Amino acid sequence: MEPGMISKKDLLQHTGISYGQLYRWKRKNLIPEEWFVRKSTFTGQETFFPRDKILARVERILSMKDGDASLDDIAEAVSPDLGGISLTLAEVAERGIASEAAIGVFRSAHPDAAALVFGELVSLYVVDKLLGTGDVSLEEARSVLATLEEQFGAFEGSDGDLVCVRKMGVSVCGLVTSSAELRLESAARLVARVNLQESVEALSARL
């Protein structure tokens, strides 16, 4: 088994959930389709999951169920439909969604922007997160913003990661599926990898 993955059998044993629960949650979009990874083993085909993500998601679902939340309520919490939301930069600042530094990066790219729609809010949130941790410079933050604005639509609703790679002071950003394994040449370094679905969930909790 690949590092960072857990088999379906081990998942069910570890969490105490049933096969039926797992696939009912899948049908309700509580667990992304992309997390169900089919792999060949010596016993045939088996299903694996990204270990940390699936365990965290199952724990969250179970905790919400203990609070009497319905599956539809849980689905809205973990996969929110925020497509109709729109905020001005002033509202973004007032709600503490992004810092002035991140807002400045967005404003420099879009000086005439009146309001931000959902995809732009996610992009700004990720930029702010990376600036806050110090993982990227202001120049790299601009590249992150441009990458997300160009490519986020292709990954919206699926499980993707933003990755930033730096080599000899030059950075490149892109989006990959969350299950993708990156293998870089020795001179290159992965400076950031951010899960977009987790960012969507974290942002939705602040809107």
Cα angle value 112/114/116 (rounded, 5°): 115
Cα angle value 181/187/190 (rounded, 5°): 40
Cα distances from 139 to residues 35, 67, 101, 116, in angstroms, run 33, 44, 12, 21
What does the pLDDT profile of the chain (207 residues) look like in tens digits?
A: 566 889 999 999 999 999 888 988 888 878 887 788 888 877 778 899 888 888 988 988 888 877 677 877 777 666 655 556 788 888 988 888 899 999 999 999 988 887 888 888 889 999 999 999 999 999 999 999 999 988 877 766 667 899 999 999 899 999 988 878 888 998 999 999 998 888 887 887 777
66 bridge partner residues: none
Single pTM value for the model? 0.65
CA-to-CA distance for 3 and 158, rounded, in angstroms?
22
CA-to-CA distance for 193 and 130, rounded, in angstroms?
9
Hey, what domains does the chain have and what are their CATH numbers?
Answer: 5-78 (1.10.1660.10), 86-204 (no CATH)
